Amino acid sequence: MPTASDILDLILSGNAEKMADAKLALAALEAAGSDDPVAIALSCHVSASEQRFDDLRGFLRKIAEGDPSLLGPFFDALLKLGGMRRIAGILHRDGVHRTGGPLSGLLGLFHQTIYIRGWTVTKPWPLDNSRMLEPVQDRMPQACRDLVRRINETGQGMGEPTPRVGGEVPWDDGTVLFNLVAQTRPRRILEIGFAKGMSTLFMLSASDSIESHTVIDPLQGSAYRHNGVKNVTQAGYGDKLRLIEMPSSLAMPMLLADGETFDLIFIDGSHCFEHTIMEALFADLLAEPDTLVAYHDYHMQPVYAALEFMRSNRGWSGVLASDVVIMRRDRAQANMQDNYTPFATARGKS
Ligand SMILES: C[S@@+](CC[C@H](N)C(=O)[O-])C[C@H]1O[C@@H](n2cnc3c(N)ncnc32)[C@H](O)[C@@H]1O
């Protein structure tokens, strides 16, 4: 029977077939009642059954009551899987931070360990950076291409003319989004800042993997006369679109409270600092371990400052393609008041 470490390697390989094997092997380990720390970390992350959460509580008690040597392999596996948030969530849900006692000490230890050991998970970067500007030409369906061209050239799509409240992504940046989706094949996309749907069309037309594309924009009806919805429907993607007509500050916490997560998040909203940093922090919470979060308009100082914070204090890093920054979480990083890292708030300053 494969060991828990073998299963961890299978899961980290990212291969869908191996993932199925890994789940079967893990189920066998669970059935055998394994209390291997790596197995516990794996099943908390992969199977998430209530039974396993009970096992986790028992396991944590065991560590807290005197067997701290189990902690290292458990943390290592969890961090590789990006699962710290879920475990911290379970402990918080149980109220251990309020009740004190050994488990509450352990929660502090979780944070300390991440901070002190500065764990970095080295995962392969999922994009071919050299191909982010590869022309979309023949890969985008004709009807969508015509519509995107029309918006690009005239600033208008299918609906009645509307004022330009915010500009749509230029062609090159749309091309980056298209290639990002074509290469990573996400299932659930979240987008902040919809306008006339230009960026949405680049993404939706790039891959048939997309099951749902959620857009957040408070001005879609009032300023844009639902032009974005009309354009996406005209291009044939209306059934995948979900519009939340609210500011991101209300919509993102709502999605989080509903337990939603996304495989790809694109942020192109108001661009002021307080909105961008709030959106980045909620994107962090709405992200799966391998989720990529892309930000438009890196040339803008508020966007730059917000992303510097995510890089220096939240464990995110990324690449710049045209004016789009594509980031992912390299390591789980829990912040406490004493591990704040000063960061550059403007290019060339700190
Ligand atoms: C630059 S435009 C987005 C362009 C769009 N991504 C495209 O390529 O067609 C910015 C959009 O952000 C929206 N917006 C402004 N404030 C917002 C907020 N607080 N939450 C979400 N969206 C917001 C605006 O209504 C506008 O549609």
Residues 79-109 pLDDT 10s:
666 655 555 555 545 444 444 454 555 555 5
- Distance from the first to the final alpha carbon of the chain: 53
| pLDDT at 40 (0 to 100) | 77
| pLDDT at 119 (0 to 100) | 34
**pLDDT at residue 225 tops 80:** yes
Q: Which two tokens stand for residue 20?
A: 């199925």
CA distances from 152 to 174, 241, 314 (A): 10, 21, 35
Pick from 268, 279, 295, 324 the residue to mutate for probing ligand 1's pocket: most ligand atoms within 8 Å of its CB: 268
Confirm whether pTM is higher than 0.85.
no
Give the atom of ligand 1 at the shortest distance from the alpha carbon of 216: 21
> Over the stretch 238-293, which tens digit does the pLDDT of each residue have?
999 999 999 999 999 999 988 899 999 999 999 999 999 999 999 999 998 889 99
Could you give the CA distance from residue 251 to residue 215 in angstroms, rounded to a whole number?
10
Domain chopping of the chain, boundaries: 4-117, 129-329
Residue with CA nearest ligand 1 atom 18: 247
> Over the stretch 6-20, which tens digit does the pLDDT of each residue have?
888 887 776 777 878
Q: Which two tokens stand for residue 322?
A: 């045209």
What is 129-329's CATH number? Answer: 3.40.50.150
Residue with CA nearest ligand 1 atom 1: 166
Q: Is the dihedral of CA 144, 126, 45, 108 positive or negative?
A: negative
| pLDDT at 164 (0 to 100) | 62
For residue 227, how far is its CA from the centre of ligand 1 (angstroms)? Answer: 13
Could you give the CA distance from residue 322 to residue 298 in angstroms, rounded to a whole number?
9
Please count the other Cβ atoms lying within 10 Å of the Cβ belonging to residue 153.
Answer: 9
CA 214-247-278 angle, 5° bins: 95
For residue 244, how far is its CA from the centre of ligand 1 (angstroms)? Answer: 12
Could you give the CA distance from residue 9 to residue 226 in angstroms, rounded to a whole number?
47
Quote the percentage of the chain above a pLDDT of 90.
43
Could you give the CA distance from residue 153 to residue 132 in angstroms, rounded to a whole number?
22
Quote the percentage of the chain above a pLDDT of 70.
73
